[in-house]
Amino acid sequence: MIEIKTLGALRASGYQSKSIKDELRDNLIFKLRNADSRFEGILGFENSVLPDMERAILSRHSILLLGLRGQAKTKIARQMVTLLDEHIPVIEGSEINDDPLQPISAFGRKCVTEMGDDTPILWLHRSQRYVEKLATPDVSVSDLIGDIDPVKAATQKLSFSNEEVIHFGLIPRAHRCIFVINELPDLQARIQVSLFNMLQEGDIQIRGFKMRLPLDVSFVFTANPEDYTNRGSIITPLKDRIESQILTHYPSDIAIAKAITLQEARLTKEQREKITIAPVHHEILERMVIKARQSEFVDGKSGVSARVAISGYENLVSAVERRMLIHGEAQGVSRIADFHGVLPSLTGKIELVYEGEQEGPVNVAWKLMNEAIMDVFLETFPNPEARKRDKDIYGVIKAYFGAGNHLQLKNDASSESFQKSLNEVAGLQKLVATQIENTEDTPVYMELMLHGLAETQVIGKSQSNAQTDFSDPLSRLLNFDDED
Same domain, 146 and 35: yes
Same domain, 180 and 42: yes
Provide the mean pLDDT of the chain: 88
Same domain, 52 and 177: yes
Total domain count, the chain? 3
- Measuring CA to CA, how many Å separate 13 from each of 2, 7, 92, 254? 11, 10, 18, 53
Same domain, 291 and 192: no
Q: Which residue(s) pair with 218 in the sheet?
A: 178
Range of the structural domain that residue 423 is part of: 381-484
Q: At which of 188, 216, 247 does a domain end?
A: 247
Same domain, 319 and 341: yes
The answer to whether residue 356 sits within a structural domain is yes
Mean pLDDT on 283-308: 92
The answer to whether residue 2 sits within a structural domain is no
The answer to whether residue 72 sits within a structural domain is yes
The answer to whether residue 286 sits within a structural domain is yes
What pLDDT digit, counting tens, does each position of 97-145 carry?
Answer: 999 999 988 889 999 999 999 999 999 999 999 999 998 888 888 888 8
CATH of the domain at 341: 1.10.8.80
Same domain, 172 and 60: yes
The answer to whether residue 1 sits within a structural domain is no
The answer to whether residue 110 sits within a structural domain is yes
Same domain, 263 and 183: no
pLDDT at 482 over 80: no
Query: How buried is 335 (Cβ within 10 angstroms: 0-12 exposed, 13-18 middle, 19+ buried)?
Result: buried
Same domain, 467 and 388: yes
Same domain, 359 and 394: no
Q: At which of 184, 213, 247 does a domain end?
A: 247
What pLDDT digit, counting tens, does each position of 464-477 carry?
Answer: 888 999 998 776 55
Mean pLDDT on 137-155: 79
Half-sphere exposure of 157 (CA within 13 A, CB side): 0
Same domain, 342 and 409: no
Distance linking the first and last C-alpha atoms of the chain = 79
Confidence of residue 7 (pLDDT cuts 50, 70, 90): very high
Same domain, 76 and 141: yes
pLDDT at 203 over 90: no
The answer to whether residue 172 sits within a structural domain is yes
Confidence of residue 463 (pLDDT cuts 50, 70, 90): confident
pLDDT number for residue 319 = 95
CATH of the domain at 114: 3.40.50.300
Confidence of residue 483 (pLDDT cuts 50, 70, 90): very low
Mean pLDDT on 46-59: 96
Same domain, 374 and 391: no
The answer to whether residue 259 sits within a structural domain is yes
Q: At which of 380, 395, 418 does a domain end?
A: 380
pLDDT at 201 over 90: no
Mean pLDDT on 148-158: 72
What pLDDT digit, counting tens, does each position of 412-456 carry?
Answer: 999 999 999 999 999 999 999 988 887 778 999 999 999 999 999
Q: How far is Cα 234 from Cα 239, in angstroms, rounded to an integer?
A: 7
